[in-house]
Amino acid sequence: MTAFLSIRDVRKTYVGANRQRVVALADVDLDVAEGEVVALIGPSGCGKSTLLRMIAGLDADFEGKLAWTRRPRPGKDIGFVFQEPALLPWRSVERNVSLGLEAQRDRSAEGRTRVRDLLDLVGLSDFAQSFPKELSGGMRQRTAIARALAYDPQILLMDEPFGALDAITRDRLHDDLLRIWEATRKTIILVTHSVEEATYLADRVAVMSARPGRIKAVHRVPLDRDRSPATRRLPEFAEFAGMLRQELE
Ligand SMILES: Nc1ncnc2c1ncn2[C@@H]1O[C@H](COP(=O)(O)OP(=O)(O)OP(=O)(O)O)[C@@H](O)[C@H]1O
């Protein structure tokens, strides 16, 4: 496996307002291959979001090393999707999606075509002119995913992107994400609390230990890459998700 991103001996210490030191991450090692979907799971507070922010280049204050085959340009080559879609309420869906392009002063015809293709990909073509308040939670999150993909990032970082959605919408968005991955083959790092979500979406699952967060184990998901709702009913699915759950106990 050629590592697209190698995380080596990463350690992060926060110093709180009262000068109390919190070691959030210790000796984190992880390799991510190009085009791979890696899920990060672990108990609350184990440093998953911290690690994602470092990879995104939003936090450079840490020890250790992040090595890329092609170093992403901050704010340009990394797409970030958060739990809350954080759309601009006064902009239409289309203009929320094109936000990243505008920030890069990309007003090209290709840019505009890409926005339209992305709206199509996430099933929102008919809602391009709608405003966020007119959308369901799932549609808002689809808009956020399209926005993160608009400037064609090298990697998509997702921090509990489906955590605030109801179970049925979440399952639907899982299938949307699989379709998006099929179409774009983006490298994706996904933080989740759900062992089922990790099993359904990922090629590999990195399990983190409680604070200070370490990578306790990395498991390859023993399922075909082609996933569909029927995958969830396979005995291997339940077995793998059960094993992850046990590892988190
Ligand atoms: N800005 C900060 N200042 C001080 N401590 C922080 C800061 N951000 C995070 N921490 C601490 O670092 C640890 C890791 O936090 P982080 O949010 O990365 O965990 P997480 O695994 O994403 O948690 P959750 O699953 O609950 O979202 C926690 O103990 C948290 O209190």
* Residue 73 confidence (pLDDT): 81
- Give the chain's mean pLDDT: 91
* Residue 202 confidence (pLDDT): 97
Interface pTM, i.e. ipTM: 0.96
Ligand 1: distance of its center to the CA of 48 in Å?
Answer: 8
Residues contacting 132, CB < 8 A, separation 6+: 85, 87, 88, 89, 91, 93, 96, 140, 143
Note the pLDDT tens digit of each residue in 82-93. 888 889 999 999
d(CA 39, CA 37): 7
| Cβ(141) – ligand 1 distance below 6 Å | no
Note the pLDDT tens digit of each residue in 13-59. 999 888 888 899 999 999 999 999 999 999 998 999 999 999 998 89
* Residue 17 confidence (pLDDT): 83
- Dig out the tokens for 206 from the structure: 């990195």
Ligand 1: distance of its center to the CA of 215 in Å?
Answer: 16
Ligand 1: distance of its center to the CA of 29 in Å?
Answer: 18
Contact 149, 180 (CB under 8 A): yes
On the question of pLDDT at 1 being above 60, the answer is no
Nearest to 198, CA basis, from 218, 184, 183, 169: 218
Residue of 14, 19, 216 best suited for mutating to test ligand 1, as the one with most atoms within 8 Å of CB: 14
| Cβ(59) – ligand 1 distance below 6 Å | no
Q: Higher pLDDT residue, 191 or 99?
A: 191
The size of the chain, in residues, is 249
Supply angle C-alpha 194, 49, 7, rounded to 5: 105
On the question of pLDDT at 2 being above 70, the answer is no
| Cβ(16) – ligand 1 distance below 6 Å | yes
Q: Which helix (H) or strand (E) holds 33?
A: strand 21-33
Q: Which helix (H) or strand (E) holds 140?
A: helix 137-149
Ligand 1: distance of its center to the CA of 78 in Å?
Answer: 21
* Residue 147 confidence (pLDDT): 92
* Residue 96 confidence (pLDDT): 95
* Residue 77 confidence (pLDDT): 87
| Cβ(14) – ligand 1 distance below 6 Å | yes
* Residue 72 confidence (pLDDT): 83
Report the predicted TM-score, pTM, of the whole model to 2 decimal places.
0.92
pLDDT band at 113 (very low <50, low <70, confident <90, very high): confident
Note the pLDDT tens digit of each residue in 119-171. 998 899 999 999 999 999 999 999 999 999 888 899 999 999 998 888 998 99
> From edge to edge, which strands make up the β-sheet containing 3-15?
21-33, 3-15, 63-68
**Phi, psi (5° rounding) for residue 141?**
-70, -35
